[in-house]
Amino acid sequence: MNKNTTKIGYARTSTTDQRLDIQIEALKLAGCSIIREEQKSGTSLEGRPELKTILEFIHEGETLVVTRIDRSARSLHDLQIIVEILKSKGANLYATEQPVDTSTAAGKAFFDMLGVFAEFETNLRRERQAEGIAAAKIRGVYKGRSPKIDRYEIKRLLSEGLGPTQIARDLGISRGTVYQTQKSMGQV
């Protein structure tokens, strides 16, 4: 990493229960003059305003610094998007705990390999979760999440003569859901 460039740090945890202080300290030690932080899931680039801000405003010659590449993204696809945005702006990605520095050929190659492993790990986690849910269903322990929509309330409001638009507005649901419930009642 070029020692004379502006370094912008990005610290992220998946939940507010986790602490950012270790990442922030490492980013300060790496020479970051700006550190953006957020506590959002890394499984998608959506809903991460701090990362979006960095990617929008990073300049040529600057470096986005993370402690590990999984702090920036959990899938190879998202990592590639981030690196492409940085590359298009003449900026780089650097990880303090991994030999990732997209300003060098070796760093780019290692970055690509780590991305593949990060995606593999995410897929394994999903498979284990699905297996656990399937086993819990067999044992009769897993019931799934509670439904968010109270169809009995929709039916009650329909029977009182309220229209689908009003019901949808009052319950904070789509009119399509009201129409589906109405159809199941044989009223359509």
Q: Which residues are known catalytic residues?
A: 14
Cα–Cα distances (Å) from 96 to 17, 61, 65, 131, in that order, read 23, 18, 7, 35
From CA 87, how far away is CA 98, in angstroms rounded?
A: 19
Identify the bridge partners of residue 104 per DSSP, sorted by sequence position.
none
Helix (H, G, I), strand (E, B) or coil at 136: helix
Structure tokens at 57: 């405003």
- Which strands make up the sheet holding 63-66, listed edge to edge? 34-39, 7-13, 63-66, 92-95, 100-101
From CA 188, how far away is CA 182, in angstroms rounded?
A: 6
